[in-house]
A and B are shown apart, each in its own frame.
Chain A
Amino acid sequence: MKTKNTREREHDMRKYLISTVAASALALVLGMTSVRAEDAVDPNAKQGGAITITYKDDVATLDPAIGYDWQNWSMIKSLFDGLMDYEPGTTNLRPDLAESYEIAPDGKTFTFKLRQGVKFHNGREMTADDVKYSLDRVTNPKTQSPGAGFFGSIKGYDDVAAGKAESLAGITVGDPYTIKFELTRPDATFLHVMAINFSHVVPKEEVEKYGADFGKHPVGTGAFKLAEWTLGQRVVFERNPDYWHKDLPHLDKITFEIGQEPIVALLRLQKGEIDVPGDGIPPAKFQEVMADPEQKARVVEGGQLHTGYITMNTTMAPFDNVKVRQAVNMAINKDRIVQLINNRAVPANQPLPPSMPGYDKEFKGYSYDVAKAKALLAEAGHPGGFDTQLFAMNTDPNPRIAQAIQQDLAAVGIKASIQSLAQANVIAAGGDKAGAPMIWSGGMAWIADFPDPSNFYGPILGCAGAVPGGWNWSWYCNKELDAKAAEADSIVDPAKAGERAKMWSEIYGKIMEDAPWAPVFNEQRFTMKSTRMGGADNLYVDPVHIPINYDNVYVTDVQ
C-alpha cells in the first residue's frame, strides 16, 4: 500500500513527464530549438603567457576553405569560427557563432540566430551575409576546396559545383543575424558540417584583397589572430583582445616553430625550451619516454577517431569470395601488431573507433583463429592458399606492420608480397579498381572529419566511394546498406540520436559480416607537454583539436 506521500511524488513525476512530452511535441511542431549554454571556464586558468610548439613541416595554408591536414586543422580553428563547435575536449556539439538554432520538423530546414557584436580581426562586425559568402566561396569550384563535398545536401549545391551558379540557392539571409539553410534531404550530420573548418566564416573584403594568398593572410573571428609568418621558420599567433568570449583565450601568444625534427623537438622539450612537440613522440623514443617517470608525467593519453584496417578488393579474385575475406580477418594477430607499435593502439574488431557514437561494445567480431581461417580458405576453394599483394605506405611503422600481416597471412597459406610505396602512390593504387588487392591503411587511415558514425561509411565503405579515385579501397558497394545509411541520416531529431546510433551499429555489423575490411587497431593519442602547461587533460587530446586545444589551455607560471 502506497503512502500519500509517494502518491504525491508519483503525481508530480507524471506531471513532469507530461510537461516534458508536451514540450517535446511542441518542439516537433515548431521545430527543434537549441540555445547555447556558456562553456564553463576553468577557474584555475591563468591569463597571459606564451607557449612554443614545434612542427617538422611547413604550415600549408591557414585558409579554412582549403586547409585539410592535421597540423593546420587546429590552427585554423583558433583563427576562425563556425556556426557550430564542440564543447572543449569533447565531441558534444554546441552553437558557436550561432546563438541558437532551430530545425524544422521535416529535418530539411535549419535556421540559425547569430551572436551579435562578433568582430573579425579587421574590426568589422560579422553578419549573416558573411556566413553565406563563406559557404558560397567554399563550394565554388574555383576555390578548389577539398571540403566542398561536405555541403552536398544544401539546396543548389549541384549548380554551384557545376559552375552554373555563383551562390547556393538553399541559403537565405533573413536579417543580419538570421540565416536559413534549406536542404535537399534531411541530414542528421548537418550540424557537424556547420562545425567543420570548411564552413568557418571569412570576411569577403579580406579574401578579395589577398586572393589566392588569403591562406597566408588569414582574417577571421577566432580567439587568436595571426601576428607573424616567416616562411619556413615560424608562425606566431597573438591573443585576439576583441574575441567574443571575454574569458578566452588564456594565452597571449603561441609561437609555432617550423622545421624541427620530432626527435630534436623531444630533446628541446626535455631542456624546457618548448611546450608541445606538435608531431608527437617519435616512435623510436616512445618506449624510452614511457619508461622514464619524469618524462611520462608529461604525456597525456587519449583516444582518437581513427581506425587502422586492411582493405580487400571485393572485385578482385579471390577477395570477391566472402569466405576468403573472413579468413583473412581470422588470420590477423591484432594483439601482436599492437605490441609491435609499443601498445600505442587498441585492437579493433569493427570499423568505428570506440569513442565514436554507434560503436558496438557488445560486438565480438572475428577472433584470431588460424585453424578456422584455414578451413574457410579450403571451403572457398583455396586449401593451399594463394598469392597476392599487400600495399602499404613506406614510412615507419607501416612496413613493419605490413610484414607482421604478411607473416600472419603466410601462416594460413596466403603468400602476400609487400608493395611499400609513398603515400600518394598507395592512395592512387587504392583508387584504381584493378590497382591493389590488399592495402594496409596505416599512415593514410581514416580519421573522422567530425565525430559522427556516418563519417566512416560514405567515402570509405559506401557505393559513393567505390569510384575511380575514391577512398573505398575495398570497392565494396552494398546498395541495401546505402539505403539504410540514408535512412539513418534522415533522423535529424536530436532526441532520436540513440535510435540513429543503433541503426549505424547495425550497418557496421552487416559490413563486418561481408568483411571487406579486416579492422586492426584504433590508434591512441599521446601528447607531450611541458610541466608549466595547465588545463584539463582532455584539452591535450581534444578529439577535434590536434595536437591540443589552443583556445582553452594555459600556462601556470604567469602572475
Chain B
Amino acid sequence: MIAYLGRRVVQAVLILLGVSLITFALLYLLPADPVRQIAGRSATPETVENIRRQLGLDQPFVVQYWHYLISLLSGDLGRSYIQRSEVTELIVSRLPASLLLMVGAIACEVVIGLTMGLIAAVKRGTATDQSLMVASFVGVSAPQFVVGLLLLYVFAVRLGWFPIGGYGAWRHLVLPSLTMGILGAGWYARMMRSSMIDVLRQDYVRTARAKGLARSAIIFRHALPNAILPVIAMIGIDIGIFMGGIVVVESVFGWPGIGQLAWQAIQRIDIPIIMGVTLVSAFAIVLGNLLADTVAPFIDPRIKLR
C-alpha cells in the first residue's frame, strides 16, 4: 500500500512537472508579447526593454522556466501582468467558490444520475427506461453554455425562483450546480443503469427474490449498495471534467471561482495567472484520480492496488 502510494506520488509530481513545462512552453511560443501589454501603447522601446529585463523575460526559455520552478517550490506563482497582484492570492481567494460549486455539482449529478439510473434499470426495456436514457444522452451532449443560459432564463428570469447570477446564499448555488451536474448526471445514469442491471442478475439477488423478500427491499437493501459502489468510485475522476466545466459555467453565472479567473486571464494573455490556474487544476485532477484509485479497493474489493 505504502509502496503503491509512493509510486503514485512520484508519478503525480512528474505529471505536474510535465504539465508546467508544456504550458510554459506553449505560452512562451505565443506570438503575443506580454511586456508590450504591460508597457502600454505610449511606451518607448527603451521602456519596453527595461520592463522586459525587470521581469526576466529577456532570458532564454530554459532560464525562465528554471526561475519559475524555483519560485514555485517556495509557493510563489508570481504576479499577474495585468492585475499586478500575487497570483497565489488571486487563486486562493477564488478557490473556495470553485470548491463549493464542485460540491454542489457532485451532489446534483449523484442524486439526479443515480435516481435516473436506478429507475431505468428497474424499469428496464420500458418506455420509462428509454426516455430516461434519451434524457441522459441529451444531458451528456448539451453544451454547458446553452444549458446554463436556458436554466438562467427559465428559472431566474421567467419564474424568478433563483437570483440571476451572483454568489453568497445557497440560492445562488442551485443553478450553476445544476448546469455542471447535468453533464455528469447523464454519465452516472448510464453507469448506474448498467451496474444495477448487472447486480440484479446476480445469484444473491435471485436468492433474495426466491425467499420472498419485497421488491423494494431487494432493490434498496441488497442490490443498490452493491451497484452504487463502482459508480461512487468515479467521483474522483469527475474533478478533471469539472475543471474544464467551471471555466464556462462560472462565466455564465458570474461565479467568482478560478474558472472565471482563467477565462479572463486567457483573454488578456495574463501568463502568470494562466500558469497558476493550469497548475492548480492539474494538481486537482491528479489528486482526484489518486483518491479515486486509492479509495476504490475499499469500496469495491474486486479492485486491487498494484
Chains A and B belong together in one complex:
yes
Which A residues contact B (CB, under 8 angstroms)? 57-58, 60-61, 63, 66, 68, 141-142, 144-150, 152, 161-163, 212-213, 215-216, 230-233, 257-261, 263-264, 267-268, 271, 273, 422-425, 427-429, 431, 449, 459, 467-471
19 more contacts with CB within 8 A, not counting A144-B38, A231-B89, A232-B97, are: A58-B83, A61-B84, A141-B50, A144-B39, A148-B43, A148-B47, A161-B44, A161-B50, A213-B85, A215-B83, A232-B94, A232-B260, A257-B166, A257-B254, A261-B165, A424-B33, A428-B36, A459-B41, A469-B33
Q: Are A149's CB and B44's CB within 8 A?
A: yes
**CB < 8 Å neighbour of A57 from B31, B34, B264:** B264
1/0 contact string of B211-223 vs chain A (CB within 8 Å): 0000000000000
**CB < 8 Å neighbour of A161 from B33, B46, B165, B251:** B46
Measured in the bound complex, the distance between the Cα atoms of B31 and A212 in whole Å is 28
Interface assignment of B229: CB less than 8 Å from any CB of chain A: no
Measured in the bound complex, the distance between the Cα atoms of B253 and A148 in whole Å is 38
Which B residues are in CB contact (< 8 Å) with A66? 84
Interface assignment of B90: CB less than 8 Å from any CB of chain A: yes
Measured in the bound complex, the distance between the Cα atoms of B31 and A66 in whole Å is 24
Q: Are A146's CB and B31's CB within 8 A?
A: no
Measured in the bound complex, the distance between the Cα atoms of B88 and A278 in whole Å is 28
Which A residues are in CB contact (< 8 Å) with B251? 261
CB contact under 8 A between A261 and B44, given known A60-B84, A232-B97, A425-B32: no
Measured in the bound complex, the distance between the Cα atoms of B47 and A149 in whole Å is 8
Interface assignment of B40: CB less than 8 Å from any CB of chain A: yes
Which A residues are in CB contact (< 8 Å) with B97? 232
In the complex, how many angstroms separate the beta carbon of A459 from the nearest chain B beta carbon? 6
Which residue of chain A lies nearest to B36 when distances are taken between CB atoms in the complex?
Answer: A469
Instruction: Show 20 residue pairs from A and B whose CB-CB distance is below 8 angstroms, ordered by the A residue.
Output: A63-B84, A66-B84, A68-B40, A147-B42, A148-B42, A148-B47, A162-B46, A163-B50, A231-B94, A232-B260, A258-B254, A259-B255, A264-B152, A268-B165, A271-B164, A422-B267, A429-B31, A449-B42, A468-B45, A469-B45
Measured in the bound complex, the distance between the Cα atoms of B253 and A66 in whole Å is 30
CB contact under 8 A between A424 and B37, given known A212-B84, A259-B256: yes
Which A residues are in CB contact (< 8 Å) with B269? 422, 424
Interface assignment of B130: CB less than 8 Å from any CB of chain A: no
Which residue of chain A lies nearest to B80 when distances are taken between CB atoms in the complex?
Answer: A60
CB contact under 8 A between A141 and B47, given known A427-B32, A428-B32, A429-B31: yes
What's the tally of chain B residues with a CB closer than 8 Å to chain A?
53
Interface of B is mostly: helix
Among B82, B165, B250, B261: residue with most chain A CB under 10 A: B165
CB contact under 8 A between A425 and B84, given known A148-B47, A150-B42: no
Q: Are B256's CB and A425's CB within 8 A?
A: no
Interface assignment of B51: CB less than 8 Å from any CB of chain A: yes
Measured in the bound complex, the distance between the Cα atoms of B256 and A233 in whole Å is 6
Q: Are B51's CB and A141's CB within 8 A?
A: yes
Which residue of chain B lies nearest to A63 when distances are taken between CB atoms in the complex?
Answer: B84
Interface assignment of B28: CB less than 8 Å from any CB of chain A: no
Among B164, B166, B251: residue with most chain A CB under 10 A: B164
Interface assignment of B291: CB less than 8 Å from any CB of chain A: no
Q: Are A142's CB and B79's CB within 8 A?
A: no
Measured in the bound complex, the distance between the Cα atoms of B166 and A63 in whole Å is 27
Q: Are B36's CB and A427's CB within 8 A?
A: yes
Interface assignment of B131: CB less than 8 Å from any CB of chain A: no
Interface assignment of B167: CB less than 8 Å from any CB of chain A: yes
Q: Are A431's CB and B36's CB within 8 A?
A: yes
Which B residues contact A (CB, under 8 angstroms)? 30-34, 36-48, 50-51, 54, 79, 82-85, 89-90, 93-94, 97, 149, 152, 156-157, 164-167, 250-257, 260-261, 264, 267-269
Measured in the bound complex, the distance between the Cα atoms of B263 and A422 in whole Å is 13
Q: Are B256's CB and A258's CB within 8 A?
A: yes
Measured in the bound complex, the distance between the Cα atoms of B39 and A149 in whole Å is 10
Which A residues are in CB contact (< 8 Å) with B260? 232, 259
Q: Are A273's CB and B37's CB within 8 A?
A: no
Which B residues are in CB contact (< 8 Å) with A425? 30-32
Which residue of chain B lies nearest to A464 when distances are taken between CB atoms in the complex?
Answer: B44
Measured in the bound complex, the distance between the Cα atoms of B44 and A467 in whole Å is 9
**CB < 8 Å neighbour of B54 from A141, A215, A449:** A141
Measured in the bound complex, the distance between the Cα atoms of B81 and A144 in whole Å is 10
Which B residues are in CB contact (< 8 Å) with A260? 165-166, 254
Measured in the bound complex, the distance between the Cα atoms of B31 and A48 in whole Å is 50
Which B residues are in CB contact (< 8 Å) with A212? 79, 84
Q: Are A267's CB and B256's CB within 8 A?
A: no
Measured in the bound complex, the distance between the Cα atoms of B264 and A471 in whole Å is 24
Measured in the bound complex, the distance between the Cα atoms of B157 and A271 in whole Å is 9
Which B residues are in CB contact (< 8 Å) with A467? 45
In the complex, how many angstroms separate the beta carbon of A210 from the nearest chain B beta carbon? 11
Nearest 3 A/B pairs, CB to CB:
A146-B40, A424-B32, A232-B256
Which A residues are in CB contact (< 8 Å) with B254? 257-261, 264
Which B residues are in CB contact (< 8 Å) with A152? 44
Which A residues are in CB contact (< 8 Å) with B44? 149, 152, 161
Which B residues are in CB contact (< 8 Å) with A449? 42
Which B residues are in CB contact (< 8 Å) with A427? 32, 36-37
Which A residues are in CB contact (< 8 Å) with B165? 259-261, 264, 268
Which residue of chain B lies nearest to A61 when distances are taken between CB atoms in the complex?
Answer: B84
Q: Are B33's CB and A428's CB within 8 A?
A: yes
Measured in the bound complex, the distance between the Cα atoms of B46 and A163 in whole Å is 11
Which residue of chain B lies nearest to A145 when distances are taken between CB atoms in the complex?
Answer: B40
Which B residues are in CB contact (< 8 Å) with A422? 32, 267, 269
